[in-house]
Amino acid sequence: MANVRFDHVTKRFGKVVAVDDFTLEIPDRDFVALVGPSGSGKSTALRLLAGLDTITSGDIYIGDRLINRIAPRDRDIAMVFQSYALYPHMSVHDNMAFGLSLRHVPRDEIRRRVLEAAQILGIDQLLPRKPRELSGGQRQRVALGRAIVREPAVFLLDEPLSNLDAKLRVQTRAEISKLHQRLGTTFVYVTHDQIEAMTMATRIVVMNEGRIQQVGTPQELYERPTNLFVAGFIGSPAMNLFEGEIAATADTASINASTFHLELPLDQARRLRDHGGEKLVFGIRPEDIYDLAFLPPGIEAQSMQARVDVVEPLGNETLLYLLIGEQQFLARVDARTRATPGAQMNVALNLSRLNAFDPQSEQAIALEPVTT
């Protein structure tokens, strides 16, 4: 097992900077997800770690070993790709054993490793089959098994669930999480799907335009995004963002938006009083906007009237597209709501969970810790 360290790593393709001054420490046994939109540099960072692309500048270490010039096969890693890349003429057993055979591992050891990996993944009954006889989820488990038998120091997974349907993605997410717990190995996982990152990773690295935007636990990124990009990217549905000006007195502060007014709770007012007269960007998550008729006990929220634009019932909850003044908000409310399109309704905003950002720098303005 080993930790991974990126030290000011940059990768250029001609004039295009794919990864820019990437510095990251991944502790041993951690499960880190690199997440971001297409073109953010997450897959390039993984390929640099794997040795599939060469570094323009900077250093990468696995443990205490500098690996910049070490061949991929000698880096003590195993990689699982988006495509299963199984040999169609080989059985599941032989697909999983192929890499070990190339390394001249003794046959008894190969059999032991393949059977052990197959049992971990629940595919031991499939070992005699050919890939064409397997479902998509079974093929992905074979690809995982091929990596497990290597017994590497670091697992690299590049969007391994992209080819699965929605149900299989949920199932395989759980299997990968259990696999990490059982193996106790360092995992580096690349995905554009922030739900995958939030549900599996112990820490998330949010990337955009080749640079790290924020590193933290899923809860840290959800509760306190460091900038507007992270605020809009983490969370599904995304955080509601709106502009407003702070009006402050010695003891209070409020937000004057274009067509509505919000009185801030005491904790938030204390933090924002110094920004009196300034225009800021504010964020509130859909789950912090309630149908007033179903406001949970213990939540101090400001009630307002909104017009319902669209209603999306999802069974266990309902999404409401609301207009408060001219500003659109998305709310995730109790499924018992009786909201109907075009109707007026009373909503409650939990402003204790409000986020604020500087519109020029797009960086977060520190507020009081979140309270529920």
| Averaged pLDDT of the chain | 92
Contact 118, 134 (CB under 8 A): no
Residue written as tokens 């924002």?
A: 272
43-52, 128-137, 212-221: the lowest-pLDDT one: 128-137
In this predicted model, what pLDDT tens digit does every residue of 1-21 receive, in sequence order?
A: 589 999 999 999 999 999 999
pLDDT higher than threshold 70 for residue 91: yes
pLDDT for the residue numbered 182:
86
pLDDT for residue 1: 59
Q: Above 60 in pLDDT, residue 159?
A: yes
Q: What is the rounded average pLDDT of the residues 34-61?
A: 96
The number of residues in the chain equals 372
Question: What structural domains and CATH numbers belong to the chain?
Answer: 4-233 (3.40.50.300), 240-365 (2.40.50.140)
Provide the CA 313 distance to its chain's centre, in angstroms: 25
The β-bridge partners of 141 are none
Residue 299 CB partners (closer than 8 Å, separation 6+): 290, 348, 350, 372
Q: Which residues contact 77 (CB under 8 A, 6 or more apart)?
A: 49, 50, 62, 152, 153, 154, 155, 156
pLDDT confidence tier of residue 367, bands split at 50, 70 and 90: low
Coil, helix or strand at residue 32: strand
Closest CA to 310 of 273, 349, 284, 339: 339
Q: pLDDT tens digits, residue range 307-317?
A: 999 999 999 99
pLDDT of residue 372: 41
Phi, psi dihedral angles at 285 (to 5 degrees): -80, 150
Residue 326's pLDDT is: 86
Q: How far apart are CA 303 and CA 325, in angstroms?
A: 14
